[in-house]
Structure 1
Amino acid sequence: MATPGDPVLAVKLAALKKIFRPASPIDDRELFRGRTRELVKVIGAVQELGQHAVVYGERGIGKTSLAYMARDSFRQTSMGPSLAVRIPCSADDDFASVWRKLPPRLVSELDLLEPSYAEELSSTVDRSKSVIDANEITPDVIARALHLISSRVPLLIVLDEFDRIGDLGSPTLFADLIKTLSDDLIPCTLVIVGVADDVDGLISGHRSVERALRQIAMPRMSPGELREIIVGGFAALHERAGVKITLAPQAESTIVQLAQGFPNYAHLLAGSVGEIALVQGLENAGTDVLALALKHALEEAQQSIRTSYTEAVSSARTDAQFSTTLLACAMAKVDELGFFAPADVRDPLTEIVGKPRETQHFLHHLKKFSDEPSWILEVRGEGRKTRYRFRNPLMRPFVYMKGLKDGYLTVETGSIRPKSK
């Protein structure tokens, strides 16, 4: 076992944390795993004049990492110099404020080019900034500014976290801009990235804008893609730091199941296993190491997730059993949008507690979860048509992890299931 303060251990841990990164997107092509189809679609949109892309899906499934890979591919495939800018959006933004962020980010990109290219393009960037600064910011003005730049150099702009824009009128203005860029064949590509169930949740306005938008839905990762993250990550650790760690097949399968299709949980759990293995000097990590890693991962999960969970299951009554009901919600069968009916909770809850449970036994729990201060579940419909889903989809794998740690779940023949009562 390594001793605290060991400089060799510190180097190995630093290498591990650069590979398994649950809290930040992947911007290293060698570490990017899965998402081949989605990346091909984005690159296809970037390479086709008049075509733009909108990437949408649940929170935490790797949309921003995909955007970084699209930006990297754009730079590599461009003939000569190019400019690829990522603009993060926020709740305080509107159409105008988003585009005011463009000039300084273009200047930052110029700094990465050869000095001769940067000097040649700096005057063009200055002219585009003058257009933005001197006029009311409308779709036509932004199209003009983008045309100035893209007529000189290939230009890609990624609008990330687009769903966070607070101004309700902005999506229509962005739709107008996309239509103008497409109709006028302006050689600039926009990639819009955000949380939504469908494209209408991000972009509204011209129906005709659909022909200019390549719609790319980001589903949850497949088990194979999650395994790529785990196995490929430890292979990269061996290659980059000379550290070999092999996961037992059951430990690997358990991580895949716990991640529930979310890459950041695969990074979190695999990274926690790797950290414990490094500290203990282990080359092989089995389920015993995973059990320790699970506790560490729960502590390292997003603060907002941990807080919401605690608020949801807390009660003055010791027999309230909110935690088991929430676990049953996580195990319930869902539709394509992640919604489940109260009846879908009945069977998993019966398995968890070891005795029959009907809807009337837990319906008040669902109401608590979907009301303040919890707000952990989102509700649609009324009466018999009432459906629920986790407001933050990242809560569901967290609840699974908590259920396994607390002994409500067990791993049998490579599958996670309720522990027999």
Structure 2
Amino acid sequence: MTIKGVTDEDLKALLAENLTPSDTIKTPERLFGREKNLRTIDRALSSPGRQIFIYGDRGVGKTSLALTSAYLHSATLSPPIHVMCGRTSGFAQVVQAIGNALIPVEDRVEKPGGGGGFNLTLPGLGGVGVSRASKAVPAIAAPQSLNEALDVIRYVASKRNGKTIIIIDEMERIETAAEREKFAEFIKNIPELGADVRFIFCGIAHDVDELLQSHPSAGRILETIHLERLKHNYLWQILMVVAERLGVELQLETLIRISQVSDGFPHYVHLIGESLFWSMFDDPEVVTKSGAPHFKAGIEGALQRTEATLRAQYDKATQKYRNTADYQEALWALADSTSDRRQIADIYENSYKWIVTKRVGRTLMPRDKLNQRYLSLRKDTHGRIVAGHGAGWFSFRENIMRGYVRLRAEAEGINLGRHHNTAGME
């Protein structure tokens, strides 16, 4: 339409290639700001017996780093095996899923026909069986012991060419101590599988801390990588690649505001960027540079398409019969800094007061009343969106929520973070 030389199909293809808020990244050229992490993983995977544990906030890009690293170290005919943990699945089910990755998905999900079935025990697998249904649909049985679990992995490796890279994702979803203990015992024994099998685990800081505290010997096996939120210049690169391909310019103010709103989470940059570029494309005038209306459209589009659970948590925290504005302003004030934990005095003096001056018809609450609002936001009735740390210290229970809160504030004309120190933007 009005980006010179760019058709609707051109823009769709370019955005699908570079901005993927609902998909993971699997190639290093799109993994901005993670070169050091990729290098660390590369060197660790060249060390016999070394496994990888990537940890960090939800939404910071752990899966993308894991997949990119895994594809770089996998043979073309043996792509990485990627399995997810779940609240209702345990260690045995995760190992079973690794084994079933050998079996075409259509064979596993199609309805079996008639004719009766039988069980086949694979030789050398210590009793781990491959069962065949009436349509000869195979499936790896869930292991009943550590040895059986190791045998499943040996069997998988024997059927693949070259190095086998296995990603076990979302370890934080394993809730019971007993199941976590099984994973810990398994990790200690991974080196017994040989050099052709490597694991990349993904979880949060609690997972790796608990593992290393209860099993210090795992520290000799695991290369732990703390994945931090991206600095502003790397967030800008995500958008500038698209802008350069389109032949348009993004204003510095637009880049600064997007990186501040996103709070270091690339997911939000992808969301805002998609809507921003479509707004530029739909502009009735020929566009060569982004403007305020395009940025506003980017924010509004990101809010409409953001993760439903974040939106539901925010609404549960704030949408009350009374005091809705109080709770919104409390959350905005908490999100006005990149500090993970903030003290009530700092929040009140340096953020809350400033926010209220920007709001028509609003008056300041006393500091003790603001503190009470945060105490309420810790409760189930408010979605437990905030965590308390004693003596008036508060944080978001999940840091990714801070980015969503910034999106909501921006949509209401409150540009958080601009009156604070902007270190880390370069």
When normalised by structure 1's length, the TM-score is 0.81
Q: CA deviation at 1:187?
A: 3.3
- CA distance change for structure 1 residues 184 and 32 in 2, over 3 Å: closer, same or farther? closer
Partner AA of 1:371 in structure 2: K
Match of residue 370 from structure 1: 378
Match of residue 99 from structure 2: 103
Structure 2 residue runs without a partner (length 5+): 108-121, 130-140, 358-362
Contact 2:99 2:153 in 1 (8 A): no
Match of residue 115 from structure 1: none
Q: Supply the distance in 1 between the matched residues of 2:272 and 2:345 (Cα, whole angstroms).
A: 32
Is residue 168 of structure 1 aligned with residue 177 of structure 2?
Answer: yes
Q: 216, 234, 241: which one pairs with 1:232?
A: 241
Match of residue 209 from structure 1: 218
Partner AA of 1:174 in structure 2: F
- CA distance change for structure 1 residues 175 and 233 in 2, over 3 Å: closer, same or farther? farther
Deviation string, structure 1 residues 109-168 (Cα, Å, up to 9, x no partner): 9x9xxxxxxxxxxxxxx7688853378432222223323444663211100111112332
Structure 1 residue runs without a partner (length 5+): 112-125, 417-421
Where has structure 1 moved over 6 Å in runs of 4 or more? Answer: 126-130, 410-416
SS at match of 1:106: coil
Higher helix share: 1
- CA distance change for structure 1 residues 321 and 372 in 2, over 3 Å: closer, same or farther? same
Q: 346, 349, 352: which one pairs with 2:348?
A: 346
Match of residue 26 from structure 1: 25
- CA distance change for structure 1 residues 131 and 275 in 2, over 3 Å: closer, same or farther? farther
Is residue 141 of structure 1 aligned with residue 148 of structure 2?
Answer: yes
Deviation string, structure 1 residues 250-309 (Cα, Å, up to 9, x no partner): 111111111111010111111111111122252321233102221122111112222222
Partner AA of 2:289 in structure 1: N
Contact 2:378 2:385 in 1 (8 A): yes
Q: Supply the distance in 2 between the matched residues of 1:401 and 1:128 (Cα, whole angstroms).
A: 56
* Comparing 322-331 and 407-416, the one that deviates more: 407-416
* Comparing 55-64 and 129-138, the one that deviates more: 129-138
Q: Supply the distance in 1 between the matched residues of 2:97 and 2:56 (Cα, whole angstroms).
A: 25
Q: Supply the distance in 2 between the matched residues of 1:331 and 1:179 (Cα, whole angstroms).
A: 42
SS at match of 2:376: helix
Q: Supply the distance in 1 between the matched residues of 2:251 and 2:221 (Cα, whole angstroms).
A: 47
Match of residue 50 from structure 2: 51
Contact 1:93 1:167 in 2 (8 A): no
Match of residue 303 from structure 1: 308
Match of residue 86 from structure 1: 82
Match of residue 274 from structure 1: 277
- CA distance change for structure 1 residues 266 and 202 in 2, over 3 Å: closer, same or farther? farther
- CA distance change for structure 1 residues 14 and 83 in 2, over 3 Å: closer, same or farther? closer
Match of residue 367 from structure 2: 359
Is residue 316 of structure 1 aligned with residue 321 of structure 2?
Answer: yes
Deviation string, structure 1 residues 52-106 (Cα, Å, up to 9, x no partner): 011111000000101110111112xx5x854521111111111101111112213
The number of residues matched between the two structures is: 384
Contact 1:83 1:106 in 2 (8 A): no
Is residue 294 of structure 1 aligned with residue 299 of structure 2?
Answer: yes
Residues 173-212 of structure 1: matches in 2 within 5 Å? 173-182=182-191, 185=194, 187-197=196-206, 199-201=208-210, 205-212=214-221
Is residue 325 of structure 1 aligned with residue 327 of structure 2?
Answer: no
Q: Supply the distance in 1 between the matched residues of 2:210 and 2:242 (Cα, whole angstroms).
A: 34
- CA distance change for structure 1 residues 192 and 43 in 2, over 3 Å: closer, same or farther? same
Q: CA deviation at 1:372?
A: 1.9
SS at match of 1:60: coil
Q: Supply the distance in 2 between the matched residues of 1:19 and 1:402 (Cα, whole angstroms).
A: 25
Partner AA of 1:104 in structure 2: N
Q: CA deviation at 1:193?
A: 0.4
Contact 2:15 2:274 in 1 (8 A): yes
SS at match of 1:265: helix
Q: CA deviation at 1:44?
A: 2.2
Counting aligned pairs with the same residue, the percent is 22
Match of residue 118 from structure 1: none
Match of residue 265 from structure 1: 268
Deviation string, structure 1 residues 323-361 (Cα, Å, up to 9, x no partner): 111100111463xxx222322321210111137654213
Q: CA deviation at 1:220?
A: 0.7
- CA distance change for structure 1 residues 228 and 139 in 2, over 3 Å: closer, same or farther? farther
* Comparing 20-29 and 53-62, the one that deviates more: 20-29
